[in-house]
């Protein structure tokens, strides 16, 4: 058989798909986190007196911030199953359209009640619950094995980059003549633009793309093991849910999302209450850790592919090393922050940047591990792990609500940091013992 060489090694249709998936996470995470900054202007009349503010209690604000996750974890498993059965292209179009609509509605809903804002956030969360299972399906279909770590990390680092962009932009807009309303309208428009690009350029897999070259299609299908002639397999629920590698992924995700959610939603509040930064500085400095995360993700992902492609580490050990860096590193930084009795601004910001920045190694660990374990059911696996993991993302801000009764009290924040560090350590130990990166027997089990 004649060997087919892929001429599009450096840039091909698969890279366009990856860029589009990266973009949906940039926009989606922007929608997710801009409220974390805007809510400061929405509740403090001294920031921008030209726009309405609301007398929402600390408890109400915590509920508003966490409500995204109330809807987010609900559709995860169903989203994975639907993506595997019908393909994810039009599900992404529909859910992004609804997320954009929710963004447009938040300013008018805030006039009625915080519960109306919460309803918009629940809808937004529910819709974005489709994103990660659909993305994992598309990565399993489009990305060759030897490019999996760096392409997967590039896509998933779009989330932190979206945070990097949204926080300072929202802070600047909220304090300007445009007002906090404009931040939500901006992300609604960006969502519509993404939909147009995806309809024109996106596809469920290489065999369905109209302009892909034969050499690139063959290269992708040979590496991934997927083709247009794939037979359908029933989901092996019993085997999947009794698999220790799957539970290792669930636990790893739970630890990751506890810490990530806590820092994503609460860093602006911590900087405003303890470090006394105004909203414009708050937005910029709150974004700094996520800019670091985005930048370091390139290093860790190339390191992972280098170690595996040069056969220096097995895929399993590569995933375990990346996960350990991504979980233990932030744990040490948060533990150090908690041990400083009276943190000054420089120390606190430095440790927060380290805690979030080094977390990027996780994108070459648990984030793409689903495809290693089960290429055929990667979307369903992502739905399970992301859904259960995000229960922790829902709980973390609520725990902060009960611990931090005074946002200016550094001692109360210290407890929050200690808990997050403990969760990080415990979850990494479990993943290091039971995690795997080999295709499991039930991936092709006849059922």
Domains of the chain as residue ranges with CATH = 13-225+234-444 (1.20.1250.20)
313, with CB counted inside 10 A (0-12, 13-18, 19+), is middle
Q: Angle at Cα 31 formed by Cα 29 and Cα 35, nearest 5°? A: 110
Low-confidence residues of the chain: pLDDT under 70: 1-10, 225-232, 264-265, 268, 278-287, 341-343, 446-447
CA dist 90 and 87 (Å) reads: 8
278, with CB counted inside 10 A (0-12, 13-18, 19+), is middle
User: Could you tell me the two tokens for 32?
Assistant: 């997710």
CA dist 320 and 310 (Å) reads: 17
**Residues 157-176: pLDDT tens digits?**
898 888 888 888 888 898 88
**Residues 14-58: pLDDT tens digits?**
999 999 999 999 999 999 888 888 888 888 888 877 888 888 888
HSE-CB of 133 using CA atoms within 13 angstroms? 35
Q: Does the model's pTM come out above 0.85?
A: no
CA dist 197 and 181 (Å) reads: 26
CA dist 427 and 408 (Å) reads: 30
CA dist 335 and 23 (Å) reads: 33
Residues 32/165, Cβ–Cβ less than 8 Å: no
CA dist 237 and 239 (Å) reads: 6
What is the per-residue pLDDT for 29? Answer: 92
In angstroms and rounded to an integer, the radius of gyration of the C-alpha atoms of the chain is 21
User: Could you tell me the two tokens for 314?
Assistant: 């097995």
Alpha helices in 202-243 (DSSP H): 214-224, 237-241
The pLDDT > 70 percentage for the chain reads 91
SS3 226: coil
């Amino acid at each position: 058989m004649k060997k087919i060489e892929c001429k599009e090694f450096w840039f091909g249709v698969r890279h366009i798909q990856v860029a589009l998936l990266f973009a949906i996470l940039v926009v989606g995470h922007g929608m997710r986190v801009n409220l974390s900054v805007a809510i400061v202007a929405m509740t403090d009349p001294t920031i921008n007196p030209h726009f309405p503010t609301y007398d929402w209690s600390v408890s109400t604000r915590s509920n508003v911030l966490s409500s995204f996750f109330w809807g987010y974890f609900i559709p995860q498993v169903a989203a994975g199953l639907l993506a595997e059965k019908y393909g994810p292209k039009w599900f992404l179009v529909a859910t992004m359209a609804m997320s954009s609509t929710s963004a447009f509605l938040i300013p008018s809903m805030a006039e009625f009640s915080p519960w109306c804002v919460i309803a918009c956030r629940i809808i937004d969360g529910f819709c974005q619950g489709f994103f990660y299972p659909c993305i994992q399906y598309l990565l399993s279909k489009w990305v060759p094995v030897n490019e999996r770590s760096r392409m997967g990390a590039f896509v998933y680092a779009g989330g932190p980059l979206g945070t990097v962009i949204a926080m300072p932009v929202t802070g600047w807009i909220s304090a300007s003549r445009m007002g906090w309303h404009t931040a939500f309208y901006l992300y609604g428009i960006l969502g519509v633009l993404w939909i147009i690009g995806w309809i024109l350029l996106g596809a469920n897999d290489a065999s369905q793309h109209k302009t892909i070259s034969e050499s690139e299609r063959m290269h992708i299908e040979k590496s991934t093991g997927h083709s247009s002639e794939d037979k359908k397999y029933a989901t092996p629920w019993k085997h999947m849910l009794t698999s220790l590698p799957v539970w290792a992924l669930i636990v790893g995700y739970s630890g990751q999302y506890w810490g990530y959610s806590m820092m994503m939603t609460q860093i602006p509040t911590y900087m405003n209450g303890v470090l006394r930064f105004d909203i414009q500085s708050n937005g910029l400095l709150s974004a700094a850790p996520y800019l670091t995360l985005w930048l370091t993700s390139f290093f860790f992902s190339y390191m992972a592919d280098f170690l595996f492609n040069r056969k220096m580490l097995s895929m399993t050990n590569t995933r375990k090393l990346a996960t350990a860096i991504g979980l233990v590193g932030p744990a040490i930084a948060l533990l150090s922050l908690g041990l400083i009795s009276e943190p000054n601004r420089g120390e606190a910001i430095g440790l927060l940047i380290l805690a979030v920045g080094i977390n990027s190694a996780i994108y070459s660990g648990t984030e793409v591990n689903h495809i290693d374990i089960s290429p055929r059911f990667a979307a369903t696996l992502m739905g399970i792990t992301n859904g259960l993991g995000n229960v922790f993302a829902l709980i973390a801000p609520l725990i902060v609500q009960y611990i931090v009764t005074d946002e200016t009290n550094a001692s109360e924040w210290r407890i929050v940091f200690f808990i997050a560090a403990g969760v990080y350590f415990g979850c990494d130990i479990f993943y290091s013992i039971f995690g795997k990166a080999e295709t499991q027997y039930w991936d092709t089990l006849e059922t």
